[in-house]
Structure 1
């Protein structure tokens, strides 16, 4: 599906669930991650230019938003609103458990909206780039060949899903509906 098509995001199209990806400029991404502002803080602040990072869940302490460079349809990031950088040392037990509760709630909503075989949860980032603590929720499409699962499925070097702001808005709306207090994920 072309990003310009404006149709819903691809969830399980064609023979290869991971087919149809676009090449990704890793070098440009590294420059942005290491030299630009904190992308999570920018989303929290509502900075302009973050059209793809649609917020799907927010509470007093956390924010969840669509990944700008998804390798799998429905990929969402969950982060504390406060700029913390280490998943273990920077959170006391209460804050860690609260964050993991938010991750679980959003992951259940993703599974309700995006058909998947398994949901990957992982915290990535580094003090060298993308330092703000965030968890990736990545729904593995059903039928993905084993050789294209796990790290292969997560790596932008293997391509990203082409999509438009309109597609991001559609997916975000579906996720927000599930995450609403009266929705299935609330």
Structure 2
């Protein structure tokens, strides 16, 4: 459907480790960090991944910069139970919208990042398309190149996901 490419990973990793928090920049609407936002409320923001390996790959994050201060905190330690569950309701809603919109065989949910870079806690909502052979699923699905999606397709997918999320919010 879309051709794939490999970005300059060294430059990208350097930017991630030395630049400002990309999620905070998206929340602040910094024009140097454009994003296709599919959901936003006073607590959370969700947007299409800038470097998707699978169609529909979306990130969900708290609007407020939150990161583990110590290794034992991991993804949950900087949140109260109620804060965490509120964010997970958003993750659930976004996951369901992505699944319904792109027709996934399986949904992967991951919290990637590191205290060394991408430290703002966030979750990756990743749809596995139907029919992918088993050997190409799971971690193998993440080893393919980045999808080169035209801007019009990103905008269209964003609009469709916004609509689905709104429908799920009402229902």
- For normalisation by structure 1, the TM-score amounts to 0.84
Secondary structure, aligned partner of 2:26: helix
Matches within 5 A, 1:3-152: 20-51=3-34, 53-86=35-68, 87-152=75-140
**Offset, 1:185:** 5.0
**Offset, 1:150:** 0.9
CA contact (8 A) 1:109 1:185 kept: no
CA contact (8 A) 2:93 2:168 kept: no
**Offset, 1:117:** 0.6
Secondary structure, aligned partner of 2:14: helix
Higher relative contact order (CA 8 A, sep 6+): 1
Unaligned runs of 5+ in 2: 69-74
Measured in 1, the distance between the counterparts of 2:87 and 2:158 equals 20
Among candidates 152, 156, 159, match of residue 173 of structure 1: 159
Measured in 1, the distance between the counterparts of 2:11 and 2:134 equals 29
Measured in 2, the distance between the counterparts of 1:133 and 1:94 equals 16
Q: Deviations over 1:165-186 (max 9, x none)?
A: 2211110000001112xx2454
Measured in 2, the distance between the counterparts of 1:23 and 1:185 equals 36
**Offset, 1:50:** 3.0
**Offset, 1:154:** 2.2
CA contact (8 A) 1:108 1:185 kept: no
- How many residue pairs match? The answer is 164
**Offset, 1:164:** 2.1
Q: CA RMSD in A?
A: 1.4
- Runs of 4+ displaced beyond 6 Å: none
